Amino acid sequence: MGSQLVFWLAALFNVWFIHAAPENFVVSVSSNVSVHTKHTAVLPCWLSPQQSAEEMEVNWFLRDQFDAPVMLYKDKTINNASQPASYRGRVSFGQKDASSGGMKEGDVTLKLINITLADAGEYTCYVSSDKHHDRASVNVFVTQTGGTPLLTAVVKENKINVSCESEGWYPKPQLRWSDGSKPLNPGAVVYTKDLSGILSVHSWLMVSSHSALSCLVGLPGEVPIKGRMRVETPNLDTQDQGSGSSAAGWVMFAIAAVALVILGLLYFRKYRGKGPDSKHANNGDPSELENLLSTGLQDYYGKLPD
């Protein structure tokens, strides 16, 4: 008899609790959400005080697009009729935490997979019943991490111009240079944006001695990606000495060639031009050839500018 009484009292209490459930509620959301592209975003939203949302209407929409909801729950089912095509197959109800009891406890969290840059913005969680409605909004910030910085070097006079470039970032990344643990000031930092809004960053600086350079690129609040290069300034004195020796060799070669040409011309004019019967025909005297060469070289150098 006693057990039956307890059973009926418990049943009556449950009926009373259901009918006495608060008619009003407050929609609550978490703080703003930051997520990388291609990852999953979870936007917590729940009712306070705790109560079932299974019989209610839940409308998640981006910015002011109430009539084009990201996800619409109505009549106990998800209605995709007016959902934008870009969200098809990417949205569902999630859980605000591991202990969540789902919709029967008022958890109407939105889960959005495969995030893109276009998904960034203000999302509104709108919940309505026959007697009450409320809303709350949360901002979604989308980020994208770029590639490892690429460093290149070009020698200019007695210095080296080192460039650093990295692509595929959003939003604008930060770039800084260092030589070991010593920060360096870049010559410039330039940003470019493609049609989809993705950013590239390019910077350069001049170094005049051997350096172990690092170029670090990253988003604010995140660990940067590092590119490295060891550079050394060429020994310009050695290059100059080598160039001077080479030039001197060519000058000596040119002088010898000119001397031979002059000797040949004088020989031809003095001896061959008079014919084989001339009494001044060449008798093969070496001293006379030396005199010809000396006279020719004097004539040649006399024509050179001072």
Q: Which amino acid is at 202?
A: H
Give the β-pairing of 133-143 and 33-36.
parallel
Contacts of 84 (CB under 8 A, 6+ apart): 65, 68, 70
Is residue 7 situated within a structural domain? no
- The reply to whether 279 and 262 lie within a common domain is yes
- Classified as helix, coil or strand, 142 is strand
In a domain, 254, yes or no: yes
What is the pLDDT at residue 269?
65
Closest CA to 56 of 106, 100, 111: 106
Contact status, residue 160 vs residue 153, Cβ threshold 8 Å: yes
Query: What letter represents residue 212's amino acid?
Result: A
58 neighbors 125 (Cβ within 8 angstroms) = yes
CATH (domain of 213) = 2.60.40.10
Which residues lie below 8 Å from residue 113, measured CB to CB, with a gap of 6+? 40, 90, 91
Q: What is the pLDDT of residue 232?
A: 75
Give residue 238's pLDDT: 44
- Looking at the structure, do residues 30 and 137 belong to the same domain, yes or no? yes
| Domain end point (choices 92, 115, 143) | 143
Check residue 13 and give its pLDDT. 46
Strands (E), the chain: 26-29, 33-36, 41-43, 45-48, 57-62, 71-74, 77-79, 91-93, 110-112, 121-128, 133-143, 150-156, 159-169, 174-179, 182-184, 188-193, 199-207, 211-218, 225-231
Q: Are residues 121 and 25 in the same domain?
A: yes
- The residue among 190, 216, 231 that closes a domain is 231
Residue 60 bridge partners (DSSP):
71, 125
Q: Specify if 64 maps to a domain.
A: yes
| Nearest CA-CA partner of 106 in 139, 73, 83 | 73
Residue 256 lies in a domain: yes
The span from the first CA to the last CA of the chain, in angstroms, equals 137
Q: Are residues 165 and 109 in the same domain?
A: no
pLDDT of residue 210: 79
Question: What was the pLDDT predicted at 271?
Answer: 60
Residue 119 lies in a domain: yes
Q: Does 299 lie in the same domain as 197?
A: no
Same-domain pairing of 123 and 164: no
Are 224 and 243 in a shared domain?
no
Secondary structure letter of residue 148 according to DSSP: P
Does the predicted TM-score (pTM) go above 0.75? no
Residue among 18, 136, 128 nearest 74 (CA): 128
Sheet order of strands, 188-193 included? 150-156, 159-169, 199-207, 188-193
Residues 215 and 242 both lie in one domain: no
Specify the pLDDT at position 211: 84
Which residue in 216, 220, 145, 219 sits closest to 175, CA to CA?
216
CA angle 69, 74, 79 (to 5 degrees): 55
Amino acid type, 259: A
Sign of CA dihedral 280, 285, 287, 291: positive
Q: Is residue 10 part of a domain?
A: no
Q: Please tell me whether residues 224 and 298 are part of one structural domain.
A: no
Residue 54's domain comprises 21-143
Question: Are 139 and 25 within one domain?
Answer: yes
- 83 and 154 co-located in one domain: no
Distances (CA, A) of 159 to 154, 176, 211, 236: 9, 20, 12, 10
Give the chain's domain count. Answer: 3
Residue at 1 is within a domain = no
Question: Does a structural domain hold residue 15?
Answer: no
Do 199 and 128 lie in one domain? The reply is no
* Domain end among 97, 125, 143: 143
DSSP, res 116: -
Those residues of the chain that have pLDDT short of 70 are: 1-23, 233-251, 253-254, 256, 258-259, 261-306
Beta-carbon contacts of residue 34 (< 8 Å; ≥ 6 apart):
140, 141, 142, 143
pLDDT recorded at residue 157: 78
